[in-house]
Amino acid sequence: MIKSFNKFKKMNETTTSPEQLLVDEILDKIGNVGYKNISKTEKEILSKASKDGVSSLTKYINDSDDFEEKLSFDKLGHILINGVPYSEWSMMSDEEKKEKNKKNKPMTDWNSTGKSTEPTNDYTVRVYKNNGNKTLYYYIVWIRGDNEGLKKKFITISDDPQKKPYGIIKDITSWKNKTMDDIHETHLKNSYDQFKDLTDGELKEFESFLILRRRFIKKEFNDPKNKRYIDRLNTLYNKFSNI
């Protein structure tokens, strides 16, 4: 069955409609977690698309040009459109959808344009800044794994010369049971001008940066033959200080 879905995807890979995007998202999810682990609704969507074509999926996605639709998944893997279950979204009026879309828009154009709907890391990272301020603040939220619920704050520039150019990281225990969106609404949205979520690619590089930073602090790179690691650490730090 999965092979037929992959064939179906290949035959339609030039299509860029919201319906095709929805199918592609589910196929990508199958690649990550397997067909048995997707939801009943997702299986229903794939079955209908395979039998009747992607154009038959309009009941799942309204294709009006008056608002932007962002597909995502909740923690259980259910499809969301602009943060709303697709069944609820399909019942909303255009005016309600427009209002919902406004609430989901980021504060500025500096936003999460490349973020995947299916996280591949155990944590997510949102970076905040104020215009004219060189310091960036990265809020790291573990969403699964042994550290689920843990929150950390990474500040890219420190007043302590001994910690330059590698910034500082602080635990935030008072935020342990809050999501990134909760944190944003309660603590951050009035403190910063702009924010963005790191993309999957940026998350992988950020993880590399944190690992290299930790090894540097442990003095593992004192040997001259490890100079390449120092160079990589500097490169990544410069990137995440100027993202």
| pTM across the whole model | 0.52
Q: What are the pLDDT digits (tens) for 50-60?
A: 888 888 877 76
For the beta carbon of residue 56, count every other beta carbon within 10 angstroms. 14
CA nearest neighbour of 118 among 219, 47, 200: 200
What pLDDT was estimated at residue 127? Answer: 93
Joined tokens for residue 133 = 């301020």
Q: Which residues of the chain fall below pLDDT 70?
A: 1-16, 60-79, 82-83, 86-91, 94-95, 97-120, 158-165
What is the reported pLDDT for 8?
46
Range 173-201 burial, b when 16+ CB lie within 10 A, else e = eebeebebeebbeeeeeeebeebbbbeee
Please give the pLDDT value at position 91. 67
d(CA 26, CA 10): 14
Write out the H or E segment, with its range, that includes residue 155.
strand 151-155
* Phi, psi at 183, each rounded to 5°: -60, -45
Instruction: Return the half-sphere exposure (C-beta side, CA atoms, 13 A cut-off) of residue 161.
Output: 0
pLDDT for the residue 113: 44
Residues recorded for the chain? 243
- Which ranges in 12-54 belong to alpha helices (H)? 18-33, 40-52
Query: CA nearest 143: which of 73, 224, 195, 58?
Result: 73
pLDDT of residue 137: 93
- The pLDDT of residue 120 is 61
User: What pLDDT shows up at residue 13?
Assistant: 43
Question: Residue 139: its pLDDT value, please?
Answer: 93
What is the rounded CA–CA span in Å between residue 213 and residue 138? 15
Total Cβ atoms within 10 A of residue 242: 9
